[in-house]
Structure 1
Amino acid sequence: MTQWLIYCRFNKPLIAQLQRTADAAIKNRVEPEPAQTESLATALTQADSQLCDNIRQLLFQQRVFLRANLRLTDLARLLEVPEYRISRLLRSQFHASNFNQFINTLRIEHAKTLLSDPDKGHWPVVVIGLESGFASVGPFTRSFKTMVGYTPHEFRQTVHCREQ
């Protein structure tokens, strides 16, 4: 990759020529017939629908979001699709601003469940964070406070006060 970047930096005239060639090819492209476009859109929609189902399966049933340091690349590798497709569907179908925000939302919801569970009341906050997929307590506490408005400890106290 580094070699390619160096090559591009020192061969700008060649890159400009390639760009002009690509632009000309796009302008001269033959548009498909409307019937072809509709069947292509249907196939794409079915493929995206299947991919959405696969994403739901991985995230909600297999609970992959609980893996520490989960990245979009990991999800793409598991689903055997390009990252951009997952990213696009997360924005359009799951209403997420980005992958990390979406995963952290799922993790915080899981942490809220654990913090509310009286059987896990003796678990330290760090353990709740680790069990929820965060790599350490700092990012867990910051994300939790940003999304919920309380620290995990304050949330636990609030929930337990309501129960009594």
Structure 2
Amino acid sequence: MTMSLPIPLFDAMLRGMVLALLALLAALLGRDRPALPAARAAAALAAGLAVQVASSMPWFEQSAPRLWQAPLVGIAVGNAALLWIFVQALFDDGFAFRPVHALAWAAASGLGTLNCAVLAHSGSAVAPFTTALQRVLPGLFAVLTMIAAAKGWRGDLIEGRRRLRAFIVIAGVAYTLLQLAARLASPDGRLSDAGATLDTALLLCIVAPLACSMLRMTATELFPSARAMAPPEPGPLPAPPPPPSHTAADATPARPETPPPTPSPAEALAAGNGQANAADAAEQALVDALLRLMADEQAYRSEQLSVASLAARLAVPEYRLRRAINQRLGYRNFSAFVNGFRLREAQAALSDPARRALPVLTIALEAGFQSIGPFNRAFKAATGATPSEYRRQKLADS
């Protein structure tokens, strides 16, 4: 009895599981925000990977006519570009599709199709160059994907999304490079039966944790809500809470002589609610201290401001500060939170007749922006007008 039968069955089982998880991911990302770029990019990537998984079966690669395989190979090559686009759309709340994204996918898939259909075995002088380029493209897009996932990681205020970034950087890029190395080691660029099964198993090991991670995250963690897409400016600062008063009796509480009685279920529930209320009050106190630090001491003006530096000044762990800014103030990334204060100062300066002659660049630098370009873009995104237009409008009304 040979072992040839279980291997194809095992391969088919793995491919079926990958296809089911890809369908689940596409449905998950399109469930709540179907119009968002991330959901559309996810649907495209899931469809492309499904084609890749189905068309890379060894028997199909070995028996199907080359012209049949050509468009499927093109889709598989284009998946590297789709992964890059998807990662940008998922982690950049302000992402919008641009012509360069369509061009990148069309160039990658077109090259794969052309090589498979025409150039691969034509003996053409350009065939070695186009084949080498096709094999380099996945590595190039892997680097771009890693950059897109790592960009903004420090300022990301959503813990689940921060972990997702790290997983995609490590697992996604490693899979792309391992697949590239395996195909480069093959004389004709095809995987052996065992290699194809291993490739599918590796893809399953990536898609399954990704699906589980996204299932645990809420829709507002994955996608920006309408409020997060246009976050409010920091509101008026609350009055500082009065300092607690301590007495000698408070400092040295009497020790009970007998162990306390076991609480009843109702008492345990009340105690749990009390702990939750205490945690809620602690988080609000942190937010109050943060807003005072930003407004009274104008911490937002510092060019080196970061979550780490603010957390150190407030003497709290970074994760607590990120959670407070995200859950209490509604911001998904740190730069949007800081720019809210900077833009509020700039708007006040541009509306002040006494500062009419002050250059816009000076106002931007005083508010904490490091150059005029980012200031102009952030200002127009927040107000719908350039700083100069905003100033003319405000001073004309005064």
The interval holding the TM-score normalised by the smaller chain is 0.7 to 0.9
2:359 aligned with 1:121: no
2:363 aligned with 1:131: no
Structure 1's consecutive aligned runs of 4 or more residues displaced over 3 angstroms after TM superposition are 33-36
Q: Kindly report which structure 2 residues correspond to 1:10-29, keeping only aligned pairs within 5 A, or say none.
A: none
Query: Which residue, out of 284, 287, 305, partners 1:49?
Result: 284
2:298 aligned with 1:63: yes
Query: Could you tell me how far apart the structure 2 residues matched to 1:36 and 1:129 are?
Result: 50
2:360 aligned with 1:141: no
State the AA in 2 paired with 1:112: Q
Deviation by residue 1:23-65 (Cα, 9 ceiling, x = unmatched): xxxxxxxxxx535533432331222122122112101222211
CA contact (8 A) 1:69 1:133 kept: no
Query: Could you tell me how far apart the structure 2 residues matched to 1:50 and 1:37 are?
Result: 20
CA offset at residue 92 of structure 1? 2.0
TM-score, normalized by length of structure 2? 0.32
For structure 2, which runs of at least 5 residues remain unmatched after alignment? 1-170, 172-267
Matched with 1:13 is none
Query: Could you tell me how far apart the structure 2 residues matched to 1:79 and 1:59 are?
Result: 11
CA offset at residue 74 of structure 1? 1.2
State the AA in 2 paired with 1:62: E
Query: Could you tell me how far apart the structure 1 residues matched to 2:277 and 2:394 are?
Result: 47
Matched with 1:89 is 324
Matched with 2:311 is 76
CA contact (8 A) 1:91 1:97 kept: yes
Matched with 1:160 is 395
Query: Could you tell me how far apart the structure 2 residues matched to 1:142 and 1:123 are?
Result: 20
For structure 1, which runs of at least 5 residues remain unmatched after alignment? 1-8, 10-32
- Partner secondary structure for residue 394 of structure 2: helix
State the AA in 2 paired with 1:74: S
Matched with 2:269 is 34
Matched with 1:19 is none
State the AA in 2 paired with 1:113: A
State the AA in 1 paired with 2:316: V
State the AA in 1 paired with 2:335: N
State the AA in 1 paired with 2:352: D
Query: Could you tell me how far apart the structure 2 residues matched to 1:93 and 1:60 are?
Result: 17
Larger radius of gyration: 2
CA contact (8 A) 2:352 2:395 kept: no
State the AA in 2 paired with 1:107: R
Instruction: Give the fraction of aligned pairs with identical amino acids, expressed as a percent.
Output: 35
CA offset at residue 144 of structure 1? 0.5
TM-score, normalized by length of structure 1? 0.73
State the AA in 1 paired with 2:392: Q
Query: Could you tell me how far apart the structure 1 residues matched to 2:361 and 2:317 are?
Result: 34
CA contact (8 A) 1:144 1:151 kept: yes
Matched with 1:27 is none
CA contact (8 A) 1:126 1:137 kept: yes
Mean alpha-carbon deviation: is it higher for 88-97 or for 133-142? 88-97
Mean alpha-carbon deviation: is it higher for 133-142 or for 152-161? 152-161
CA contact (8 A) 1:69 1:135 kept: no
